[in-house]
Structures are given as structure tokens and as C-alpha cells.
Chains A and B, each alone.
Chain A
């Protein structure tokens, strides 16, 4: 079974609109971290936001917030007020356990922002 599932291969949004990118995860480890990365067309991987399994509040970083629903095992990324520069591939990833060594990635969602 896939440990990280991103069900939206592509998403389209207009500038200034909010968009939610879905991510569900599967783990039996009580300690885990969830990460979102952005990959623009230039190829680099840019860290956006992190949520720990024990964090009580949803993480926020500027226009990015993570809608963490632990019981549903979902960690959706919300981008408020989309900008043209948000057009990119977005990856959800998980690291399991405090000594985890691997980031397990989903297959990604391509976001296209139009004017």
C-alpha cells in the first residue's frame, strides 16, 4: 500500500484564489513528520512547511498552511491568494519515527496558476 497518496495529478486555479492540495498518509508509527515541498520548472526542491504528529495546531508559513486531520490521516496543503509564481509541482512527504532516515514521497500534484 502506498504510504503517501496525492490523488490530484493536476490542479488549476486563478490568481488570488485559494487552493487545497490533498495528501493522505499511512503509518502505524505514532511519531512521524509530514512535509510539503515545491518543485518549480527549474527543478530544485523547496521546503514549504512541516507538521509533526504530536503538534496540536496546524502549521502555517506565510501563505501556506497545513490542514492536519490526524484521525483521517490527511495533511492537505492550503495556499491562500495564489500567485503566478506558485505554478509548480508539489510533493507531500513523510518521515516515520524519530530515527527515520527516509522521506517517503507522494507522486506529486502539478499546480497551474493563471491570470
Chain B
């Protein structure tokens, strides 16, 4: 089954404690992205990757890092989380061009 898998689904952490949210896709897609969803703001892109070792900033990259060492994986790293990063996070992949994006199940992160 074609899917994007994120882990964990839920995470509560404390300010400053480094964390990683994993994302993996099994569709051999070149393009992967991270979005955050906040009430009243819709989804906003954090980072994207067009291929292995090729990443770039989206609209709200501050406080986040990503890496793309393998085509299937695109982890999101919060080196020093802060309460304003409390949000619902989505990983998405697409084969590119004007095709639909496939989303992971979402990760609900709370930073206290």
C-alpha cells in the first residue's frame, strides 16, 4: 500500500530537549515536504526536498532542520524546541509536477 509514515503520532516534550520526527514514504517520490498546521492559519511549509541531499527552506523554517540522506526518509529535527513550535506537523511526498501530495498521519507536538 502506498503510504507516508510519520512517527510519533503524539509527542509531549519540554523546552530545549532535542527531538526528531521521522517520515518515510514507499512510493519512490522525489519530492518531500514538512508542513505545520495551526488553527486559523491552514498549513504552512517548513522545509522541502527535491531529491537526496537537496533541501531548501519553506515559509516557516526557523527552529527546524531537515536531512535527506535516503530517498525514502525525510526527518524533521527540532534542536531546541520552544512552546511556539507546539503544532500539528505533516510530512508529505509527491512525484513532482502538478500531482497530488500524499500526507502522513500527522504528528501532534506539544512543547511545555
A residues at B contact (CB < 8 Å) = 4, 31-33, 35, 37, 43-45, 47, 50, 52-53, 91, 93, 95, 98-103, 105-108
In whole angstroms, how far apart are the Cα atoms of A95 and B105 in the complex? 21
B100 within 8 A of A: yes
Q: Are B100 and A43 in contact (CB under 8 A)?
A: no
B102 contacts across to A, CB distance below 8 A: 47
Q: Which of A98, A99, A105 contacts B44 (CB 8 A)?
A: A105
Cβ A47 vs Cβ B101 within 8 A: yes
A45–B90 touching, CB < 8 Å: yes
Known contacts: A101-B31, A102-B45. The answer to whether A45 contacts B106 by CB under 8 A is yes
Residues of chain A contacted by B58 (CB below 8 angstroms):
102
Given contact pairs A103-B43, A105-B43, A106-B42, A43 touches B88 in the complex (Cβ within 8 A): yes
List, in ascending order, chain B residues with CB within 8 A of A107's CB.
40-42
